[in-house]
Structure 1
Amino acid sequence: MKKALIFQGGWEGHEPAEVADILAGILIEEGFNVKISDSLSTLEEDDLTTYDLIIPNWTQDKITKEQLTPLMEAVEAGTGLAGLHGGMGDSFRMETDYQFMIGGQWVAHPGNDGISYTVNILDADHPLTEGMEDFTVVSEQYYMHIDPAVKVHATTRFPVADGPYQTNGEVDMPVVWTKRWGQGKVYYNSLGHVAEIVRMPEVIALMRKGMNWATR
């Protein structure tokens, strides 16, 4: 049986425990044995290389070298990494090595929560987005700093909300991307501010496809 680890915590505004339960439910449906941990100490106490997939769900906060190094080494050795929103794309802001592995970092959400925007699916024939169509989300619209090495699977167009960034014109910002880290596969989805958004059928479908894709 495939093994997955979800470590959840950090800023409570992202409802990490509830979101972790939703993601665990998807994985269990897909035949995974899932462990959920609410402590970063699991990263130094467990043998992370025994997991086929790891889900970071930990917004902001700090991580020690003794915790981060085993995580990065496990992914480099082939353990998959997948996650969403700030739980993976805004974790451990001071750790640039972590951001290098993820492929991007949150920097802003103009207009804050409640922005209505479109998620554009780039290739409906790709396994990660197969059969999906563009859809609307009312939530935070994540503006990210992106590694040019990532492969982009869905985007959203800025600007929607007012702000000084508007003078740069329109920008298609990645929403879903993938990359490789050594032998490991990395999947990121910027949607999922709170559990209600994660429960959207489109977000569930994207995470189901993405977590399966990233698995060793």
Structure 2
Amino acid sequence: MKKALIFQGGWQGHEPEKVAGILAGILEEEDFNVKITNTLTTLQEDDLTQYDLIVPNWTQGTIEKDQLQPLIDAVAQGTGLAGLHGGMGDSFRMEVDYQFMVGGQWVAHPGNDGVSYNVHILDRDDPLTKGISDFTVVSEQYYMHVDPAVKVHATTPFPNAEGPYQTNGEVDMPVVWTKRWGKGRVYYNCLGHVSEIVRMPQVMDLMKKGMTWASR
């Protein structure tokens, strides 16, 4: 049986405990033994290389170097990394090494919550998106700074809400991407502002495919 670690916490507006429970449920259905922790000290106390997958679910916050480095090293050695929304894409804003590993960083959500936007699947034959059609989300629409090395699997069009960024014209912003970090696989999904969005069938399916793909 594969082993997964979910560390949850940080800003409570993203409902980290509820979201962690949903993600754990997906993994348990895929026959993972899942450990959920609400403290970052687990990252320095556990041998992280024992896990096949680590799921960050910690928005903002701060992390000590002796907590972050074991995480970075474990992924480089082959432990998978997968997560969603601010729980992985807006964690530990001062830690550029973490952002480098993840492949991007949240910078804005023009229009804030309640924006209706389309998610476009780029390749419906890809195992990470197979069987999923384009769909609409009413939530935050993440504007990200993205590593050009990532492989993009889904996008969303900007501008959608008013703002000074509109003068730059139309862009397709990555929503789902993958990359490699040493021997490890990294999967990120921008969706999932609150548990209600995570429970959308398309988001659940994307996360199931992504987390199992990223796993060692």
Q: TM-score, normalised by structure 1?
A: 1.00
Find the residue that maps to 1:144 and give its secondary structure. strand
Residue identity in the other structure for 1:208: K
**CA–CA distance in structure 1, aligned partners of residues 186 and 41 of structure 2:** 22
**CA–CA distance in structure 1, aligned partners of residues 17 and 192 of structure 2:** 13
Find the residue that maps to 2:23 and give its secondary structure. helix
Residue identity in the other structure for 2:191: L
Q: Provide the residue aligned with 1:190 in structure 2.
A: 190
Q: Provide the residue aligned with 2:25 in structure 1.
A: 25
Q: Provide the residue aligned with 1:208 in structure 2.
A: 208
- 1:115-134 mapped onto 2 (5 Å cutoff): 115-134=115-134
- 1:1-216 mapped onto 2 (5 Å cutoff): 1-216=1-216
**CA–CA distance in structure 1, aligned partners of residues 105 and 45 of structure 2:** 27
Find the residue that maps to 2:137 and give its secondary structure. strand
Calculate the aligned-residue CA RMSD, in Å.
0.2
Divergent runs of 4+, >6 A: none
Give the superposition deviation at 1:45: 0.2
Find the residue that maps to 1:82 and give its secondary structure. strand
Matched pairs, number: 216
Find the residue that maps to 2:191 and give its secondary structure. coil
Residue identity in the other structure for 1:25: G
**CA–CA distance in structure 2, aligned partners of residues 214 and 98 of structure 1:** 17
Find the residue that maps to 1:94 and give its secondary structure. coil
Find the residue that maps to 1:111 and give its secondary structure. coil
**CA–CA distance in structure 1, aligned partners of residues 133 and 213 of structure 2:** 19
Find the residue that maps to 2:131 and give its secondary structure. coil
Find the residue that maps to 1:91 and give its secondary structure. coil
Residue identity in the other structure for 1:75: V
Q: Once the two structures are superposed, what CA deviation does each residue of 1:4-52 show, in whole Å capped at 9, x if it has no partner?
A: 0000000000000000000000000000000000000000000000000
Flag structure 1 segments of 5+ consecutive residues without an equivalent: none
**CA–CA distance in structure 2, aligned partners of residues 177 and 97 of structure 1:** 18
**CA–CA distance in structure 2, aligned partners of residues 212 and 143 of structure 1:** 26
Give the superposition deviation at 1:183: 0.1
Give the superposition deviation at 1:90: 0.1
Flag structure 2 segments of 5+ consecutive residues without an equivalent: none
Q: Once the two structures are superposed, what CA deviation does each residue of 1:64-110 show, in whole Å capped at 9, x if it has no partner?
A: 00000000000000000000000000000000000000000000000
Q: Once the two structures are superposed, what CA deviation does each residue of 1:129-153 show, in whole Å capped at 9, x if it has no partner?
A: 0011000000000000000000000
Find the residue that maps to 2:128 and give its secondary structure. coil
Q: TM-score, normalised by structure 2?
A: 1.00
Find the residue that maps to 1:43 and give its secondary structure. helix
Find the residue that maps to 2:206 and give its secondary structure. helix
**CA–CA distance in structure 2, aligned partners of residues 97 and 160 of structure 1:** 31
Residue identity in the other structure for 1:94: M
